[in-house]
Amino acid sequence: MTEGELSDRLFVKGNEAVAMAAVEAGCRYYFGYPITPQSDIPEYLSRALPGLNGEFIQAESEIASINMLLGASATGVRAMTSSSGPGISLKQEGISYMAGSELPGVIVNISRSGPGLGGIDPSQADYFQAVKGGGHGGYHIIVLAPDSVQEMYDLTMLAFDLADIYRTPAMVLADSVVGQMKEPLVPNKRPAAELPAKDWVVRGKSGGEQRIVKSLFLGDGELEAHNWKLHAKYRAMKERECRWETFETDGAELVVAAFGSTARIARTSVMMAREAGLKVGLIRPITLFPFPEKAFAGITKSCKRILVVELNTGQMIEDVRLSVAGDTKVEFYGRPPGTGSLPTPEELFEQIKKHY
Amino acid sequence: MQQVFARPKSLKDVQTHFCPGCHHGTIHRLVAEAIDEYGVQDKTIGVASVGCSVFLYGYFDIDVVESPHGRASAVATGVKRARPDCFVFTYQGDGDLAAIGTAEIIHAANRGEDITVIFVNNTIYGMTGGQMAPTTMVGQKTTTSPYGRNQDKDGAPLRMAELLAQLDGVAFSARVAVNSPKNLMDAKRQIKKAFRYQTEGKGFSFVEALSACPTNWGMSPLAANERVGTELCAYFKPGVYKNTAEL
């Protein structure tokens, strides 16, 4: 966060910060559909894009909008869609096609509770869907998990850059707390980034060679090679793009692991624990894919226990387990999403004491 | 000597995979001729769909984006909104457009997107081996309607050209066939008109082209061709259903 005059700071909703960041990142094409709790995003862009010679379409469905994103992205423009739960499920086929066709694009999921119609309460139960490749065929997308309005802004801009650098879809995975809350925001300028030339986009041949954007590979050995190529991309992301935050992890004997809103609450609980003399810290993954395994490898020397806290029945914990050295115990505390299930700092402090 | 007939420039010199008697080859040619005659090969972006026409990019020498099944009209919307200077068309079969893609075609048409949609209707699912389509005729036997399409349970076949003509956003909607020289010349005229609607900025254009599918109809190419002219044309009547600019 940059230093600035008070007048340089705005007081905005998380969802609005996402939309503002998309505009700042040069996105001029948005295709979406209303669904609680993210309708602020299409509403903001319906106001902003026409004045910027952009295109805003409220499509007939989330399926139509992901496919409009696919088409626009194939021409090389920055484009975005957003949705929640059921709508993200509808987009999975389109996302799979984008991953297979190596198309960039940003998909924002302001998670609500499920499964099915569920509710509109905050949830972290879309972790598996986001991180393990929610569509068919075996692929990954970049997944970024903001925990503040500022991160909703900065990580949305990062999503556009990473999507272009790796030619792959990127998801901003937030929950409805971060989406709906209002906090001060410093509207940072788009950071300079070295982006590869888009020499693969469809443009009308213009006297050059034919270009095809597709994911169908029927030739002998073609698709196998293509899958390894995609896999190599994901390995490169793992080497270079892991992001996480640590809080009070030096010498910690118990470390809480959480992302998004839960990490905000857990941070307060960790402070309460430290005040009570317990050596407790917090690891907050910011990239959920690639998952920051190294963050956990770093702390397990002094740390005897990791307590994973999630708004679900246990999803990120699997990736935490894969990341830690054998003798560190990994425990879980979950509040599956639904009305009234957001834990209090006191509640998490009780859990910390229980597992310490 | 004067050359009076040649392969269209925008059609590649390759063997196609189409069955003997399939009309895709003919319809591909008419589309390619229109691309050549309007000189848009260098600025065309085709949107390929899923079905026997999935290899559009293998036959047309133009830039192509592949779309998920049914979504070509939405993909084309994204392409054209980003590149309004390009000529954008979709090429879809009856499953792609009239079953899984009904929402996308109706809404792209309703919004009046500046694209051209070529809809090939052969009353059956070709690529997947002959299942019932939304355009399968009542009584027609397919692998999933082995006792014949039953209007009570399966509904009547959808007439897309007429359906779309009712939408204000549609500027041009026509149905053609290519089973006879007369029908083929009319098909060429209507496809060219559909192209003009886009090249002249006159709105959304749609051409439904009836086609034979000898393999899945279980008929010889000649008998299948005959069926187009008799059974299909009787229900799916060729004609121009909307022509707002009176081209």
Specify whether A149 is located in the same domain as A72: yes
Does B117 touch chain A if contact means CB atoms closer than 8 Å? Answer: no
In B, which residues are within 8 Å of A100 by CB distance?
none
Same domain, A54 and A31: yes
Inform me whether the C-beta atom of residue A80 falls under 8 Å from chain B C-beta atoms: no
Rounded to the nearest angstrom, the minimum Cα separation between A19 and chain B is: 19
A203 touches chain B (CB under 8 A): yes
A63 CB near a chain B CB, below 8 Å? yes
Domain count, chain A: 2
- Distance of residue A64 Cα from the nearest chain B Cα, in angstroms: 6
Q: Using 50, 70 and 90 to split pLDDT, how confident is the model at A12?
A: very high
Residue A319 has pLDDT above 50, yes or no: yes
The residue segments making up the domain with residue A314 are 244-355
Mean residue pLDDT of chain A comes to 95
A198 — contact with chain B (CB < 8 Å)?
Answer: no
Using alpha carbons, select from B182, B169, B174 the residue that is nearest to residue B229: B182
Residue A228 is part of a domain; what is its CATH number?
3.40.50.970
Q: What is the pLDDT of residues B61-89, one digit of tens each?
A: 999 999 999 999 999 999 999 999 999 99
Pairing between β-strand A287-289 and β-strand A142-144 as defined by DSSP bridges: antiparallel
Residue A154 lies in a domain: yes
Q: Are residues A22 and A87 in the same domain?
A: yes
Give the model confidence (pLDDT) of A211-234 as tens digits. Answer: 999 999 999 999 999 999 999 999
B169 contacts in A (CB within 8 Å)? Answer: none
Do A136 and A47 fall into the same domain?
Answer: yes
Residue A2 has pLDDT above 70, yes or no: no
Which residue ranges form the domains of chain B, and what is each CATH number?
Answer: 24-243 (3.40.50.970)
pTM of the model: 0.95
Question: Crossing angle for the helix pair A40-48 and A14-24, nearest 10 degrees?
Answer: 40
Are residues A142 and A234 located together in one domain of the fold?
yes
Q: Could you tell me the CATH number of the domain that includes residue A331?
A: 3.40.50.920
SS3 assignment, position B11? strand
Do A78 and A100 belong together in one domain? yes
Chain centroid offset of residue A319 CA: 16
Of A36, A52, A37, A44, which is closest to residue A18 (Cα–Cα)? Answer: A44
Kindly state whether residue A1 falls inside one of the protein's structural domains. Answer: no
Instruction: Name the residue facing A68 among B62, B66, B77 (closest C-beta).
Output: B77
In degrees and rounded to multiples of 5, residue B121 shows phi and psi of: -110, 110
d(CA B241, CA A270): 70
Does residue A350 share a domain with residue A229?
A: no
The pLDDT assigned to A327 comes to 77
pLDDT tens digit sequence for A43-56: 999 999 999 999 99
Examine the domain organization and report whether A216 and A80 are in the same domain. yes
DSSP-based helix, strand, coil % in chain B, nearest 5? 40, 20, 40
Task: Give the pLDDT confidence of B132-191 residue by residue, as tens digits.
Answer: 999 999 999 999 999 999 999 999 999 999 999 999 999 999 999 999 999 999 999 999
The answer to whether position A188 is within a domain reads yes
Same structural domain, A274 and A196: no
The residue of chain B nearest to residue A92, with distances taken between CA atoms, is: B68
Q: Which pLDDT score is estimated for A7? A: 58
Give the span between the Cα atoms of B160 and B146, in whole angstroms: 24
Let me know if residue A256 belongs to a domain. Answer: yes
In chain A, residues with a C-beta closer than 8 Å to the C-beta of B75 are 67-68, 70-71, 74
Residue numbers in A near B45 (CB within 8 A): 75, 202-204
Distance in angstroms (rounded) separating the CA atoms of residues A85 and A37 = 10
* Boundary of a domain, candidates A222, A240, A258: A240
Among A31, A72, A202, select the one facing B63 at the smallest CB separation: A202
Q: What confidence tens digit (pLDDT) does each residue in B41-53 have?
A: 999 999 999 999 9
The reply to whether ipTM tops 0.85 is yes
Last residue of some domain: A196, A220, A240? A240
| Residue after which a domain boundary falls, among A214, A240, A266 | A240
Do residue A64 and residue A20 come from a single domain?
Answer: yes
Q: Which residues contact A195 (CB under 8 A, 6 or more apart)?
A: A161, A164, A165
A187/A329 same-domain check: no
CB A304 within 8 A of CB A284: no
Closest CA to B65 of B50, B45, B89: B45
Q: Name the residue among B54, B53, B105 with its Cα closest to residue B76.
A: B105
For residues A195 and A233, membership in a common domain is answered with yes
Contact A71 B65 (CB under 8 A): yes
Interface contact B87, partner A, CB < 8 A:
yes
pLDDT at residue number A1: 47
A 221-280 residues with CB below 8 A of B? Answer: none
